[in-house]
Amino acid sequence: MDKLELGNLLYSKLDKSQVLADEPMAKHTTFKVGGPVDFLVIPRSVEDIEAAVVAAKHAGAECRVIGQGSNILVSDKGLAGVVIELGEQLAKIDVDGCNVHAEAGATNEDVAKAALAAGLTGYEFASGIPGSIGGAAIMNAGAYDVEFKDVCNSVTCLTPDGKIVDVSAEEANWGYRHSMMMDEGYIVLSATLALKPGDPEQIRATMDDLKQRRESKQPLEMASAGSTFKRPTGYFAGKLIQDAGLRGHTVGGAQVSNKHCGFVVNTGSATAEDVLQVIRDVQDAVFEHSGVRLETEVRMWGFED
């Protein structure tokens, strides 16, 4: 990859205010750790996304996409290439009958609030999930026995070869924290949710109840990437970690949360290496104690192994 060529291509296609060179990823992830990316692009339109993807391809550079920066751990060394941040510039939400159409940058909380305002039920489960619609679609986000796949009709995506396609729920092949879009490197541009009419008071009560449950059980006051580990079949990751004696286990500024063992948190001074070491310690201890190998839900970017 030629970094100079990549920069010139990006600056020729986008407004300079949209392209941030050597931008610390710690400023753009909920873990609040991570070194600089060569170029962070903040698109204002689908055309801007396409321009950034084309520039990266021409320069032979890797291109990654984030929304709110949750569920990601970025190396302290940073990232080569381009990160495209889909945020408030691409966060429009439209309601048409029982369908909610949301652009990828719309937060799960804002989509849930829009559904509430329209008297539609079905997305309450996601109201407290950190992140955006794009990430929810890619990862098949879920909570309280409901998943994104249960309410989504289709997603509109940009393929690696530059085509804009509509992907049906069947084609998305959603599984546990997994989708076809993840496998194929599709960029989710928007999603259409199929919800149902409901009582606004009951919808609000459900959202308030879920919020209270999260606040009482999860370390929302600390920087994290959300739930760190996937749920192993037949087990709960948090209980396995607690049973292995890792509650409160600390490396540098990273810690297994005392409030919920399924969360690795940044106590304020963590590096990505601190977080990674805590994750490895947890995996080793749980395997030794119970024979279960925990897999991370958090995606690792920029690490050699």
Catalytic residues: 177, 227, 297
The residues facing 300 across adjacent strands are 73
- Whether 302 and 79 have beta carbons less than 8 Å apart is answered as yes
- Sign of the torsion formed by the C-alpha atoms of 212, 126, 48 and 174: positive
- Whether 266 and 31 have beta carbons less than 8 Å apart is answered as yes
DSSP one-letter string for 265-301: EE-SS--HHHHHHHHHHHHHHHHHHHS--PPBSSEEE
Helices (H), ranges, 124-271: 133-139, 169-172, 180-184, 200-217, 237-243
Q: How far apart are the first and last CA of the chain?
A: 21
The CA distance from 164 to 186, in Å, is 10
Total residues belonging to the chain: 305
